[in-house]
């Protein structure tokens, strides 16, 4: 069962792979449904394919807009390019785009997007007979419905969303953003108006707005909670689902890395336990579950997994819960004796044999006295330190780090590359804006 990770940029793609994804989905600059993500240029797509394949991982490219006439010529060339660089599959939702793939890039594998809202085995069978290799099922399906589709169309690969933001509209096919802001969700430009505050207006009394108050800010009657099926992994694995998908191409590399590594650890433990015919007792499930809470999220829901969930909407706020702040990532590690700081003697490096110097690309401020954590692909290697001194790249001691700066720290122990720094927020954030941190 593949773990599919989101990647809104080449950097996030690499972190997704290093932190345990089996496959990554990342769009080009056009034709995907996250147009406001950085996305990948053609040259970056070439590099992404090479990186994924060199790590025995796969790259799937969303081409899942609902195309207009103006898109066809450029889209055709894009599909030919994706076939040429040998991406592992394209993700489509529009029958017209599907036909363009078959006509112009016949060697490309085709995955059917959740936007195509496949909700029955007859629909799945139809698409399978057309040549679709995998279907990303509609989020509106229950687990029992998914199992039935798997049994009825056994040759078809099935993929489901398991974690991340949910859309208020059916399979994400929404008109609200286009109506209110002239930015179509079906063209990748959603402004997320379902997260806004709403009031009640009676038809014969235009201009009179009645608050539907849940709190002092108003109500959020269209606002969905975030999906989390972590506790259902064993059922999903036994059912033979081919891919589980994490939402979040607009989110940070910290979101991608931490979420992927937790699902990786859980699935590996589940698979090992199944092979040994025993319960996965060697893994701390509560710790893994808590790690998912350390990435910003709305309230959790299991969506439609057990049928309709009347508790899937968050009516009283649209806030993210964020208890930890992403501080930066390790870009270089030096042995202290060979590092640029080798001539500097401080209280921390008296026992130099155990010390290394890490260079951190800073995303958010930290300062001496802060307790910060470094996470790694294997959660058992995570480390916590208290910052003593911070050095800039000229080896000067500085009072704090600042965003978009690189700094060096002297630390104890083994620190691999690709480590990510975070710290607990003293007053946890409840941010109403979409969170890209």
**Going from the N-terminus, what domains does the chain have, and what CATH number goes with each?**
2-168+225-305 (3.20.20.70), 322-431 (2.40.30.10)
Express each pLDDT in 303-338 by its tens digit. Answer: 888 986 656 555 455 565 778 999 999 999 988 776
Q: Which of 396, 384, 395, 389 is nearest to 368 (CA)?
A: 389
Report residue 431 CA to chain centroid gap. Answer: 18
Q: How far apart are CA 434 and CA 215, in angstroms?
A: 20
Q: What is the pLDDT of residue 433?
A: 43
Residue position matching structure tokens 């997704």: 16
Question: Which segments of the chain have a pLDDT < 50?
Answer: 315, 347-349, 432-437
Inter-axis angle of helices 95-104 and 72-85, nearest 10? 50
Q: Rounded CA gap, 329 and 359, in Å? A: 8
* Closest by Cα among 303, 293, 300, 305 to 235: 305
Looking at residue 75, what is its pLDDT? Answer: 94
What is residue 285's predicted lDDT score, i.e. its pLDDT?
87
* Contact assessment for residue 260 and residue 21, using Cβ atoms and an 8 Å cutoff: yes
Tokens 């709305």 appear where? 298
What local confidence, expressed as pLDDT, does residue 283 receive? 75
Helix (H) / strand (E) containing 121: helix 121-130
Yes or no: say if 211 and 218 are a contact pair by the CB < 8 Å rule: yes
| pLDDT score, position 432 | 45
Six-digit token string for 47: 């590099």
Per-residue pLDDT reduced to its tens digit, 382-411: 999 999 999 999 989 999 999 999 999 999
Is residue 411 classed as helix, strand or coil in its secondary structure?
Answer: strand
């Amino acid at each position: 069962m593949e773990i599919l990770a989101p990647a809104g940029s080449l950097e996030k793609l690499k972190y997704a792979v290093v932190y345990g994804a089996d496959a990554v989905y990342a769009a080009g600059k056009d034709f995907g449904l996250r147009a406001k993500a950085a996305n990948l240029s053609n040259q970056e797509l070439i590099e992404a394919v090479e990186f994924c394949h060199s790590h025995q991982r796969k790259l799937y490219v969303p081409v899942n807009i609902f195309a207009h006439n103006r898109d066809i010529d450029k889209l055709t060339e894009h599909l030919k390019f994706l076939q040429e660089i040998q991406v592992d599959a394209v993700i489509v939702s529009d029958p017209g785009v599907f036909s363009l793939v078959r006509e112009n890039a016949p060697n490309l594998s085709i995955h059917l997007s959740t936007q195509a809202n496949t909700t029955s085995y007859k629909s799945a069978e139809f698409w399978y007979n057309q040549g679709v290799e995998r279907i990303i099922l509609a989020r509106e399906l229950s687990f029992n419905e998914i199992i039935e589709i798997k049994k009825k169309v056994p040759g078809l690969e099935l993929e489901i969303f398991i974690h991340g933001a949910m859309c208020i509209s059916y399979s994400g096919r929404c008109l609200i953003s286009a109506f209110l802001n002239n930015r179509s969700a079906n063209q990748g430009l959603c402004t997320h108006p379902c997260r806004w505050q709403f009031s009640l207006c009676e038809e014969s009394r235009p201009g009179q707005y009645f608050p539907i108050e849940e709190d002092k800010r108003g109500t959020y009657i269209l606002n969905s909670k975030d999906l989390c099926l972590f506790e259902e992994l064993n059922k999903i694995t036994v059912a033979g689902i081919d891919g589980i998908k994490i939402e979040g191409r607009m989110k940070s590399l910290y979101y991608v890395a931490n979420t992927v590594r937790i699902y990786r650890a859980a699935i590996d433990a589940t698979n090992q336990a199944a092979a040994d015919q025993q319960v996965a007792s060697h893994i701390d499930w509560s710790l893994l579950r808590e790690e998912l809470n350390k990435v910003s999220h709305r309230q959790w829901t299991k969506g439609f997994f057990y049928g309709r969930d009347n508790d899937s909407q968050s009516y009283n706020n649209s806030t993210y819960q964020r208890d930890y702040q992403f501080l930066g990532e390790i870009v270089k590690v030096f042995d202290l004796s060979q590092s640029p700081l080798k001539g500097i003697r401080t209280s921390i490096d008296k026992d130099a044999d155990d010390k290394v110097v890490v260079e951190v690309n800073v995303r958010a401020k930290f300062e001496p006295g802060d307790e910060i954590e470094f996470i790694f692909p294997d959660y058992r290697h995570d480390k916590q330190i208290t910052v003593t001194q911070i050095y800039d790249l000229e080896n000067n001691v500085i009072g704090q780090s600042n965003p978009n700066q690189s700094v060096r720290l002297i630390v104890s122990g083994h620190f691999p590359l690709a480590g990510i720094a975070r710290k607990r927020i003293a007053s946890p954030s409840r941010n109403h804006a979409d969170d890209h941190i």
